[in-house]
């Protein structure tokens, strides 16, 4: 099984927003990522529109629908938006106003559970694959299976923030067990959040994981790796 990479390009739009400009253009970023082998383009359209917007989703789906993986929460508004643009897949994530980034997996309270299951069914009816972003626990994996998810994305945030080897090994073990259970229950397994060039390989090596979704570390590296080129181009002009 070849491990796939979904590149989250949200922070290209964060940069654009910082100057309220029209560039850098996420569409061009998506094209560059796909040209060099990214398997999917991931964007999170948030209720506060802080980086990617519905307009970005529309443009990206028009150009690259079969590579588009949308992250959004389980509100009616987001469901309607996903059904309108029909990305290849949708990952339902929790969202709290004001959070800096997603803080963990979905919490399957009875009310949330019904809503997530309804949204899952509605998206699947239109041919969209549904992923649920969950914490790596047996309860969450079972709840995702009950919702009818095609995919679970295991949250690697705790793993990536672990401060000791022992803690990291324990959290890697949780991810391994959750991955095995999800496969046993017939779901595809993805992983993401906080993964970087230092911590990604132990997760990538876990049995059953077929796709890693990574954003911040890739965009951060791109900024520094691209800086010499950008400076040289300006020097040449001057």
Regarding 71 and contact with ligand PXP (CB under 6 A), the answer is yes
**What letter does residue 51 receive in the DSSP assignment?**
S
Out of 26, 87, 208, 215, the residue judged to bind ligand PXP by CB under 6 A: 215
* Dist. CA 142–CA 106, nearest whole Å: 12
Considering only the stretches 14-22, 33-41, 53-61, 214-222, report the one whose residues sit in contact with ligand PXP under the rule CB under 6 A.
Answer: 214-222
Residue of 11, 51, 69, 71 marked catalytic: 71
Number of H helices, E strands in the chain: 10, 8
* Dist. CA 184–CA 100, nearest whole Å: 34
Regarding 103 and contact with ligand PXP (CB under 6 A), the answer is no
Any catalytic annotation for residue 44?
A: yes
All residues at 6 or more sequence positions from 177 whose CB lies less than 8 Å from its CB, including other chains? 136, 138
Out of 195, 200, 206, 209, the residue judged to bind ligand PXP by CB under 6 A: 195
* Dist. CA 196–CA 210, nearest whole Å: 17
167 CA to centre of own chain = 24
Regarding 93 and contact with ligand PXP (CB under 6 A), the answer is yes
Out of 67, 85, 108, 133, the residue judged to bind ligand PXP by CB under 6 A: 133
All residues at 6 or more sequence positions from 122 whose CB lies less than 8 Å from its CB, including other chains? 79, 83
Residue of 11, 51, 190, 193 marked catalytic: 193
Which one, 30 or 228, has the nearer CB to ligand PXP? 30
Any catalytic annotation for residue 193?
A: yes
Which one, 154 or 181, has the nearer CB to ligand PXP? 154
All residues at 6 or more sequence positions from 48 whose CB lies less than 8 Å from its CB, including other chains? 97
Out of 56, 135, 150, 153, the residue judged to bind ligand PXP by CB under 6 A: 153
Distance of closest approach, residue 8 Cβ to ligand PXP, in angstroms? 5
* Dist. CA 56–CA 58, nearest whole Å: 5
Q: Is the peptide bond before 154 cis (omega within 30 degrees of 0)?
A: no
Distance of closest approach, residue 162 Cβ to ligand PXP, in angstroms? 14
- Give residues in contact with ligand PXP (CB under 6 A): 8, 10, 44, 71, 91, 93, 101-102, 133, 153, 192-195, 213-217
> Which residues are annotated as catalytic?
44, 71, 193
């Amino acid at each position: 099984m070849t491990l796939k990479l979904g590149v989250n390009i949200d922070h290209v739009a964060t940069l654009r927003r910082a100057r309220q400009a029209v560039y850098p253009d996420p569409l061009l970023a998506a094209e560059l990522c796909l040209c060099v082998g990214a398997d999917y383009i991931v964007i999170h359209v948030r209720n506060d529109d802080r980086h990617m917007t519905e307009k970005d989703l529309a443009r990206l789906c028009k150009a690259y629908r079969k590579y588009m993986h949308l992250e959004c929460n389980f509100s009616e508004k987001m469901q309607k938006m996903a059904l309108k643009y029909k990305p290849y897949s949708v990952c339902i994530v929790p969202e709290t106003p004001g959070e800096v980034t997603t803080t963990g997996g979905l919490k399957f309270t009875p009310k949330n559970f019904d809503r997530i299951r309804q949204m899952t069914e509605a998206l699947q009816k239109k041919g969209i694959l549904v992923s649920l972003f969950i914490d790596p626990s047996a309860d969450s994996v079972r709840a995702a299976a009950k919702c009818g998810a095609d995919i679970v994305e295991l949250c690697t945030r705790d793993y990536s923030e672990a401060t000791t080897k022992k803690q990291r090994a324990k959290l890697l073990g949780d991810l391994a067990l959750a991955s095995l259970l999800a496969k046993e229950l017939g779901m595809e397994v993805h992983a993401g959040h906080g993964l970087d060039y230092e911590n990604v390989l132990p997760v990538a090596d876990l049995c059953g994981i077929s796709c890693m979704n990574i954003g911040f570390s890739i965009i951060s590296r791109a900024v520094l790796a691209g800086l010499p080129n950008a400076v040289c181009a300006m020097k040449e002009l001057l």
